[in-house]
Amino acid sequence: MRKDASLEFLRGAAALVVVNGHTLRAFAPVAEGEDNAAQSLKTGLAFIAFNGGSAVYLFFVLSSYVLVRRYFQSRKAQDLLLGAIKRLPRLAGPVLVAVLLSCAIFKLDLYFFQDAAAVTQSEWLGRFGNASKVLSPETASFSDAFLQGAWRTFIYGDKYYDTSLWTMMVEFWGSMLTFALAPIVFFLQGRWTLLSLFCIATGVFLALQVSFFFCAFPASFMLYPLLAMGLRPNRWVTGAMVIVSLALLETAVSDDVGLRQACVAIPASIMLVYAVLSVDEPPSWLSGKGARFLGDLSFPLYLVHVPVICSLGSWALLVSGSTALGAAAAILGSILVALPLMTFNNWWVQVLGALFRFRRGSPIAAPAAASA
């Protein structure tokens, strides 16, 4: 259980990195430019706190690992089937709430991102986080938002009510790929190891044809043979692995096609997760109630931060004239708005667990679902 909390800590930290990265892009876009100051930030160790692209890869590796962990232990096909059936409603519950909230903000004309973008010169902010289309109070529609939050964002990738939802399509289809590969990989593992590794490599190759981000899902299967080897590095080796993986995640920045970032961020994420799972007795700060709270907050925080940046954060910037105050309002506001959504998210997981807790008339424990 303590190791589970350690993974929750990683998930929460990754969510904060994404929020920081988007806040920087909205209120200090010069930091992402090509001048000396920007390059100094990107090559400095502090950039690990703002490199949202690497954090997203870590999200996907964590998600894929957790999704089939129960099946790996039980080898019951039913665990995979229930996990696959639950995946869409599990994700759609909190996503639908966030999308309807964003639609309400549009309808009430409480988005100020375009005026704020004129001050900060942020193209990302001016396009509502690079939305495919920018809505207005007249064009926003609750029925359209409902359809987007309930299923379209997962199947087709629609995201113009909340642009952070671009990961939901990758998360959903990547999860399906994980469920499909798990029986083959785990059957071969321990019998024909080379065939198991070949299966993983084939999954990575197939995912590569769709998106670099999809590669994180089959690649995460490498964690299982690594853990099965039973090697437990001492604390010095574990510490070195953590430092190296964080350094790699810091340097993994996107190029024109994203290949460099994927090739660095995915192995670094696997290394970091393996290092954390290799610790038999994680420290209290990594496995206590605070870590679990951070994990519970991660998905809701990820969902609401773009609407908060474009509304409260932008408004605070316009009123105060300070980009620092705007950024602070965006980060603190995102955390506060995420708290009630976290409560709903926890309740929603319990509801789904109760609905799917059956098998031939007898109760079973529903498989745990991961958040992206």
Q: What separation in angstroms does the CA of 149 have from each of 92, 166, 338? A: 6, 12, 17
Pair 118, 361: CB distance under 8 Å? no
Report the distance separating Cα 191 and Cα 169, nearest Å: 34
User: What per-residue confidence (pLDDT) applies to 3?
Assistant: 53
CA dihedral 278, 279, 280, 281 (to 10 degrees): -160
User: What per-residue confidence (pLDDT) applies to 194?
Assistant: 86
User: What per-residue confidence (pLDDT) applies to 154?
Assistant: 97
User: What per-residue confidence (pLDDT) applies to 359?
Assistant: 47
Percentage of the chain beyond pLDDT 70 is 90
**C-alpha dihedral sign at 209, 214, 217, 221:** positive
Question: Where along the chain do its domains lie?
Answer: 2-355
User: What per-residue confidence (pLDDT) applies to 42?
Assistant: 61
User: What per-residue confidence (pLDDT) applies to 35?
Assistant: 41
Coil vs helix vs strand at 370 = coil
User: What per-residue confidence (pLDDT) applies to 45?
Assistant: 65
Pair 65, 220: CB distance under 8 Å? yes
User: What per-residue confidence (pLDDT) applies to 43?
Assistant: 56
pLDDT under 50 in the chain at which residues?
1, 34-40, 256, 359-372
User: What per-residue confidence (pLDDT) applies to 133?
Assistant: 94
What are the structure tokens assigned to 24, written together? 């920087």
| Residues 210-224: tens digit of each pLDDT | 889 999 999 999 999
What are the structure tokens assigned to 312, written together? 């409260």
Element (H, E) at 367: none
Q: What is the largest CA-CA distance in the chain?
A: 66
How far apart, in Å, do the first and last CA atoms of the chain sit? 20
What are the structure tokens assigned to 187, written together? 């059957």
30 burial (CB, 10 Å; 0-12 / 13-18 / 19+) is middle
Q: Under 8 Å CB-to-CB from 269, ≥6 apart: which residues?
A: 54, 57, 58, 60, 61, 62, 216, 245, 249
The count of residues in the chain is 372
Minimal CA–CA distance to 60: which of 207, 203, 174, 221?
A: 174
